[in-house]
Structure 1
Amino acid sequence: MKKLMVAVIGGLDAPAAAVSELVLTDLSAATGGRYTPTVEVDGARTTYAIQGGWWYRGEYTIEPDDQGGTRFTHRVYNVASWMRWAVPLANKGFVGFRETTRRGIKAQLDRLGERLACRTWLES
């Protein structure tokens, strides 16, 4: 069972295929510090997930938008299968978690935009 903790939506003025390639490259190179995360990719290469630790799962969805750019959605889930009740305690009640996640995704979009020489934005 997974519980949605936060979702952040943004976009880039670049084709979804180009964004997808960079995100896959970045996730494939990810290291989790104390643990090695698992990276999953769907067959259409539009949804990527990175899971690590005992509770964290981040999912990225990369889809073309109506203007030829890309809609970029990041969702964080609690996927703890044991001691689920302890996740908020271990994360200080998630105080500031949404804003921290939002800043992190904004920074990720900015890095992608710089590499693709395009404009980026956040919707939520």
Structure 2
Amino acid sequence: METVKDALFRDAGESGGHRLVDREQGVIAYWGDWWYRGEDTVTAHPQGTLLRHRVYNIARQGNWAPYLANKMFIGYRARLEASLRDRIAQLETQL
């Protein structure tokens, strides 16, 4: 797991205004000004390492509006999964 964590955090930078980088907890989070918060976590798994990406709606008001703004998220999951597969492949080349 440490090898994967090292690769994931290699270019993560430091925490800042819209970003949290917590190497100890294995979390990289980034968010916008309105609704989006994405979190990447890396944890131990019986088969090796689990890399998980989660998307949160953090809108304080109008938390229904992202669905309209993003066309009900049609196709979003497929694009997100493809992006994560690409990211994993890229990490594998660094191991």
Q: TM-score when scaled to structure 1?
A: 0.65
Match of 1:21 in 2: 6
SS in 2 for 1:57: strand
In the alignment, structure 1 residue 87 sits paired with structure 2 residue 66: yes
The match for 1:100 among 79, 85, 92 is 79
C-alpha change, 1:65 and 1:50, in structure 2 (3 Å) is: same
Q: How far does residue 65 in structure 1 lie from its aligned partner after superposition?
A: 1.9
- Runs of 4+, deviation exceeding 4 Å: none
CA contact (8 A) 1:49 1:57 kept: yes
Distance 1:60 1:50 in 2: 9
- Counterpart of 2:43 in structure 1 is 63
Does structure 2 conserve the Cα–Cα contact (< 8 Å) formed by 1:47 and 1:60? yes
Indicate the structure whose relative CO is greater, using CA pairs within 8 Å and at least 6 residues apart: 1
How many correspondences in the alignment?
94
**Kept in 2: contact 1:37–1:50 (CA 8 A):** no
CA contact (8 A) 2:12 2:21 kept: no
Shift of 1:43: 6.3
Runs (5+) with no aligned partner, structure 2: none
After TM superposition, the score normalised by the length of structure 2 is 0.82
Alignment of 1:38 onto 2:18: yes
Superposed CA RMSD in Å reads: 2.2
Residue 8 of structure 1 aligns with which residue? none
